Structure 1
Amino acid sequence: MALYGTEGIVLGARSWGEADKVMTIFTRERGLVRAAAFGCRRPRSPLAGAMQMFVHAELQFAEGGRLETVKTASVRAHHAKLSLDLTALAYATFVAEVIREFMPEGITDEAFFDRLSAILTAFETRNPRVTALAAVLQTLAAAGLQQSYERCLHCGVLIEGDAFFHTRENGVLCADCRTEDSAAFSEELRLLLISLEQLDWAHPPSLQLRGGTLMAAESLVLAHVQELVGHPLRSLSFLAQLG
């Protein structure tokens, strides 16, 4: 069995057998990886500490057919707020589920790995709701599934001011190209979505948000995610319970 080492961030885990887990880990060198972590549910397992949600770890894997195997793991970073703040945990769990759904397995994306690390760090200090929305928008863009907010889908003109949104076509229309089944799309909402999709995590701006605009942005993005997935997301039930 060939061995290889890499950094990874834990984005999913499910119990398997009496003491094992099947992990979903986003790695620097191989993108999304699914791996067996044998014995990690035993308290004295050397893997136990690193096989927790959102831990950033140094890992050694053994290559496998359907699953890799985690051979060694040491913690590089543990995001304490995600263990202590239920709201931050719920939104981070939503982001993790979106990444598991849409990012391809086994495809290297070092830029997205660095972005993911910065996103989890942002949950420590920034509004978790806004952080999650920006993270989901950027995940969809990385997967090539983003909606269009800047240029008219039909004529390509750069949009200025208010416009219209066509849900089935997943993008914005100018006034000249609007259709009967498109909806009003305010400049404020459009610019918010663009700013979150392009947010620089190393130098995040101070955003002035109105609650109604944020809710509209969430509704638009969540409807898009649900349509793409085709089934209910478990993390949204978790968020709904927080009320």
Structure 2
Amino acid sequence: MTVVGEAQVGTLLREWRERRGVSQLELALRADSSARHISFVETGRSRPSREMVLRLAEQLDVPVRERNALLLAAGYAPHYRETPLDDPALAGVRQAMERLLAAHEPYPAMVVDGTYGVVAANRGILMLMDGLPEHLLVPPLNAMRLTLHPEGLAPRIRNLAQWRGHLLAQMDRQLSLVRSPALRELYEEVAAYPPPAGHVEEAVGESAAAHAPFALPLVVEYDGHRLSFVSTIATFNTPMDVTVSELALETLLPADPETVTYLSLLRP
């Protein structure tokens, strides 16, 4: 008789394999197993060992949090810790993030968690947030809410429709990889925001398009100046902690000389 846990882990592994577009044979070769064993695992006829679950998850590039979920479904204890970011054990991580944020100034940069909660930000981000209503600045701050709320940065974003589409697509891709009710709730909230009152959508300016043809720029009106940025996102390689695995450093780089000039004047 197949137990529930075995059937569940097999179903989850099959979903991940199909999501990655990998055949049973290809996965077996990668994991030093056999297609027959992979088939038996997926149908619940065979219970994978703890080591096999981790090996298959690694070959399928399953997110760290979901690897723990696979282990639990197979009847094993989680392999990866989930340490609070303020825990002394992650002091080195916090210090590294602070150094990176400071080094990026005067350009904006921040670190967010798996639900886009802002866990650290530099003065460039604080500058862009200047003048936002107090109710949006009450902790915990959320980057998606701050950006897309009709009283947040949205009225200042000159190419809002494009940038909003980019952010929603980013969240949708993330939701396809993790089962996160909190992230789903956030997505539904920000996707339902009405457009800012009186906002007029503009095409990306010639300057931004000329200097950032390789990426969609974020064009923001600030203090009478039009600032144009391209966004980059960095994560930790081979994390062994769920919290660390979900941290992302987002940096905004100037997309035109005008933005470089303006921000350089703000350098302390």
User: What TM-score do you get using the length of structure 1 for normalisation?
Assistant: 0.24
User: What TM-score do you get using the length of structure 2 for normalisation?
Assistant: 0.23
- Structure with greater helix percent: 2
Q: Which has the higher contact order (CA 8 A, sep 6+)?
A: 2
